[in-house]
Amino acid sequence: MPVAHEGRVPVISTILLAQGHDLLAQGPDWIKFDVAAFLGQFWSDTIDGLTYGAIYALVAMGYTMVYGVLQLINFAHSEVFIVGAYAVFFTLSALGFGTSAPNLSTAALVGDLVLAMLVAMLVSGLVAVLLERVAYRPLRRRNAPRLAFLITAIGASFAIQYAIFAWRGPNPEPAIIMFRPEPVFDIGGVIITSQQLVIFVAAIVLMIVTDQFVNRTRLGRGLRAVAQDPDTATLMGVNKERVIVLTFLIGGILAGAAALFYMMRVPAGAQFNGGFILGIKAFAAAVLGGIGNIRGALLGGLLLGVIGNYGATLFGNGQWIDVVAFVVLVAILMIRPTGILGESLGRARV
Amino acid sequence: MARARRIATIASAAALAVVLAGCAANSGSSGDTGSGGPSKVDVPEVTTLPVPPNAVKPAGNGQAQCAPTTTIAFAGAQSGANAQLGINILNGAQLAVNQHNEANPNCQVQLKKFDTEGDPGKAPGIVTQLVSEPATIGALGLPFSGESKATGGIFEQAGLVHLTPSATNPSLTQNGWTTFFRALGNDSVQGPAAAKFITGTLGAKKVCVIQDDSDYGIGLATTTNEALGAVSADCQDKVTTGQKDFSTVANKVIAAKPDAVFFAGYYAEGAPLDQQLVTKGFTGAFVGPDGVKDDKFIQQAGDASNNAFFTCPCVPGELLPEFADAYKGVSGGGAPGTYSLEGYDSATILLAGIDSGITDRAGLLNWVKNYDADGFSKHFKWDGTGELAATTVYGYKVQAGKIVYVGTIG
């Protein structure tokens, strides 16, 4: 957002002029419906939407869990995510990955990718915990009003962004190509590639694991108890501070995993402000599903992914993705103000 | 007990998923993912550029005489994120001034540098300062269209002639400014040239045109589409600045099976777009304008960039050995960059005017207005608005991870 044009080729520099596509200014044909393309691309758009939506959902988990426990919208979560993308970049660079797909056996490739994912999870998790420690805990100690947390979150987001900017400059890091996607399934001409399958399956599994962790383990029960009623939970012997750290840690870990999948799709994705738009979309996904609700984040992410793609194809161009996604978000919130599945991390049923 | 079992179940499920995912990554048959596109057209690299025999050299005849205070100024980005282009131009201009002063002991022209950071907000103040110095009788810049738009009026008021070696927005010459001269073709020249290159040299029968949401991208897409006509009528798409996921655009392109894609925009979106197109199985050519022609494009698109061609009103100055060698002496070893040669030629035009005995702004403005001679990059003769009478667009392609020149394209 702040420096959308950093790192551009300055050559023509109309970039320095105000930009914007004034849809209304394009006359009466500013909107059209391309039904044929919509039907023709329906399945490929769906599959891509689900793949990207799974990444949204993983990031949305971080927003939703922190909100569930602290009623805090952690706007710096997008930077927790992008730090993970840098971790993926540096790990895979060190392992010899570069701008073309490496020649590796399946086992070696899986090993490298799992290692990169673990490093990213670790780094993002640490950054999230550090963020909580440095930015939010002092405020909590002083019983700061909720607005102070929100402003701090936005400030922390900028602070991390520009720390990365100062360190790595405005341009994205060079591409890291992990593997050439191969078609795995071909269902009546609809091709599902290995890349799409990997991202979707792994993301869903991670989210199920998290859901089960929250619902079925002792730590998860503590987490739900704090979400429901922090004071009573403390009286019952739950260590509230530990639960909060745990919440940030889980959110960070999932964001780190999301970073690996994101880099699979966008190989040059590590850029100082590269998490911003994705963060907004993930936050929207969390709200769509019902903020505070883990399963809602999953549902919201997937829905936001496919709806944007349908809209872009139906209305004829890619500039519609976010417009359509957010119009649908508003429409759903008008009918169900707490999101599709409701805000329910704190409730026993989750 | 029960809890331990559950955790074990979850852990093994996770492990299974990762392994399964990994297997999928490599197990697919190496089939064609299904795409359009013809067999690749081979456009050979061109490694030489004819040296114009009559090009005006900054050295002149060595007999020039002028006041020791005679100054020309350069205004443009020398710092900030977008500085490289300004530095390329400045080095070219500095080289011209150095060569001139070396050959003409009785005429030592000074080159004053003003840093605008490429920012249309900062440029007016800096240009106001530039024009307020009476010894300055000619100027080079500004490199970018936005800052040029913001400062053209100040030059006009001061009656100070200025040549931009790189700003290409067509509207810059439609403001009634009499002091503004453009030393290269504008964007309405580049679009038709790109269209000719795509359908002619690359032999494309069907083209998809994708534009971003900048004035630059919209303008270029319009002129390119006009020239392409029916060839691109059925396949159009638009993207936004900062977009990273181009699935729907790629799906549309794959379904349309074009021979080439023209992207009107900058490399920040062009690189991931090309990468995602190729990943989806697109085998045609990816053509971009000068906003995409940058090594960063290759870095960010990875090996997918091998299908890329560029159009640019910029001359490959690095192919003129004499110029390239001399340039390294000024730049500290770096090869000439985009628009270095245009900067060199522009400075030479002003210096030639000074050598002819001109001592004031009005005289130099008149000199440029009536100029009609060859430079190293092209022939310089302007029409009444400050556009060159004849302009050339040059073609480039990616070859083995480098941008190489493939000849003029119109």
pLDDT of residue B49: 85
**B22 → closest Cβ in A106, A265, A269:** A106
- B3, B25, B268: residue with CB nearest A179: B25
pLDDT digits (tens, 9 = 90+) for A257-271: 999 999 999 999 999
Whether A26 has its CB under 8 Å from any CB of chain B: the answer is no
Residue ranges of domains in chain B, CATH in brackets? 71-186+316-391 (3.40.50.2300), 188-312 (3.40.50.2300)
Q: Which domain holds residue A182?
A: 34-335
This model of the complex carries an ipTM of 0.86
Tokens 């083995």 map to which residue?
A: B400
Contacts of A10 in chain B (CB under 8 A): 77, 82, 84-86, 118, 143-144
Q: How far is A194 from chain B (nearest CA, A)?
A: 5
Give per-residue burial for A19-48: e unless 16+ CB within 10 Å, then b. Answer: bebeeeeeeeeeeeebeebbebbbbbbbbb
Least reliable range by pLDDT among B11-15, B122-126, B208-212, B255-259: B11-15
Chain B interface test: which of A1, A3, A5, A9 (most B C-beta within 10 Å):
A9
Name A187's Cβ contacts closer than 8 Å, sequence gap at least 6: none
Better-scored residue on pLDDT, B410 or A218: A218
pLDDT value for B99: 96
Q: Rounded to whole angstroms, what are the CA distances from A200 to A253, A261, A265?
A: 17, 9, 12
The rounded distance, in Å, linking the Cα atoms of A3 and B369 is 39
Which tokens belong to A138?
């002092």
Instruction: Kindly state the average pLDDT of the residues B106-115.
Output: 95
The pLDDT of residue B16 = 46
Closest Cα to residue A201, out of A80, A59, A55? Answer: A55
Domain assignment present for A73:
yes
- CA quadruple B206, A268, B251, A317: dihedral positive or negative? negative
Query: What Å distances lie between residue B233 and A323, B36, B125, B197, B273, CA to CA?
Result: 25, 17, 45, 17, 20
Answer whether B30 sits within 8 Å of A44, measured CB to CB: no
Q: Judge whether A347 lies within some domain.
A: no
B4-10: average pLDDT: 50
pLDDT at position A29 is 60
Helix or strand or coil: residue A289?
A: helix
Query: Rounded distance, CA B224 to CA B217, Å?
Result: 10
What is the DSSP pairing of strand B308-312 with strand B285-288? parallel
pLDDT band at A348 (very low <50, low <70, confident <90, very high): very low
Q: Please answer yes or no on whether A8 and B267 come within 8 Å at the CB atom.
A: yes
pLDDT at B368 over 50: yes
Q: Is residue A6 part of a domain?
A: no
Q: Mean pLDDT, to the nearest integer, of A79-88?
A: 97
Mutate to test the interface with B, among A6, A14, A323 (most CBs of B within 10 A): A14
Closest CA to A71 of A133, A153, A171: A153
CB-based contact, A239 to chain B, within 8 Å: no
Question: Distance between terminal CA atoms of chain B?
Answer: 78
- Closest partner residue to B213 among A21, A174, A217, by Cβ? A21
Find the mean pLDDT for residues B272-298.
Answer: 93
* Residue A87, pLDDT above cutoff 70: yes
Segment A57-78 shows an average pLDDT of 94
Q: Is residue A26 part of a domain?
A: no
Question: Is residue A95 in a domain?
Answer: yes
Q: What is the mean pLDDT of chain A?
A: 88
Cβ-nearest to A182 among B7, B28, B248: B28
In which band, very low, low, confident or very high, does the pLDDT at B25 lie, cut at 50, 70 and 90?
Answer: very low
Q: What is the pLDDT of residues B369-408, one digit of tens each?
A: 999 999 999 999 999 999 998 888 999 999 999 999 999 8
Q: Is residue B8 packed enough to be buried (19+ CB in 10 Å), middle (13-18) or exposed (0-12)?
A: exposed
Could you give the CA distance from residue A294 to residue A304 in angstroms, rounded to a whole number? 15
B:261-280 residues touching chain A, CB 8 A cutoff? 266-268, 271-272, 275-276, 279
Residue A293 lies in a domain: yes
Asked, for residue A15, whether it belongs to a domain, the answer is: no
Taking CB atoms and an 8 Å cut-off, how many pairs form between chains A and B?
Answer: 274
> Per-residue pLDDT averaged across A217-242, rounded?
92
User: How far is it, in rounded angstroms, from Cα A244 to Cα A141?
Assistant: 13
How far does the CA of residue A146 sit from the closest CA of chain B (Å)?
31
Residue B215 phi, psi dihedral angles, 5° rounding:
-55, -40
For residues B105-115, average pLDDT? 95
Residue ranges in chain A assigned as alpha helix (H): 35-40, 42-70, 77-94, 106-131, 137-141, 146-168, 194-216, 218-228, 230-235, 240-265, 276-289, 294-314, 321-335
pLDDT above 70 covers a percentage of chain A that reads 89
Q: What residues 210-249 of chain B have any CB closer than 8 A to a CB of chain A? A: 213-216, 218-219, 236-249
* Best CA proximity match to A40, nearest among B253, B390, B409, B360: B253
Q: What's the pLDDT at B222?
A: 92
DSSP state of B51: P
B115 Cβ under 8 Å from any chain A Cβ? no
Tell whether A174 lies on the interface with B, counting CB pairs under 8 A.
yes
In angstroms, what is the C-alpha Rg of chain A? Answer: 21
Residues sharing a CB contact under 8 Å with residue A198, sequence separation 6 or more, in sequence order: A261, A264, B21, B22, B24, B25
* Total tally of structural domains belonging to chain A: 1
Do residues A255 and A88 touch, judged by C-beta distance below 8 A? no
- Does residue B142 have a cis peptide bond before it, meaning omega lies within 30 degrees of 0? yes
What CA–CA distance (Å, rounded) separates B98 from B94?
6
The terminus-to-terminus CA distance of chain A in angstroms comes to 34
Could you read off the pLDDT of B37-96 as tens digits, one per residue?
444 678 889 888 888 888 999 999 999 999 999 999 999 988 876 678 889 999 999 999
Sign of CA dihedral A210, A214, A218, A222: positive
In the block, tokens 């403390």 appear at A234
Contact A170 B81 (CB under 8 A): yes
Residue A346 has pLDDT above 60, yes or no: no
Here the CATH number for the domain that contains residue A54 is: 1.10.3470
A267 touches chain B (CB under 8 A): yes
Mean pLDDT (whole number) for A156-178? 92
In a domain, A212, yes or no: yes
Interchain contact A265–B (C-beta under 8 A): yes
Residue A21's pLDDT is what?
Answer: 42
Question: Which range has the worst mean pLDDT, A8-12, B40-44, B89-93, B132-136?
Answer: A8-12
The predicted structure's pLDDT at residue A189: 79
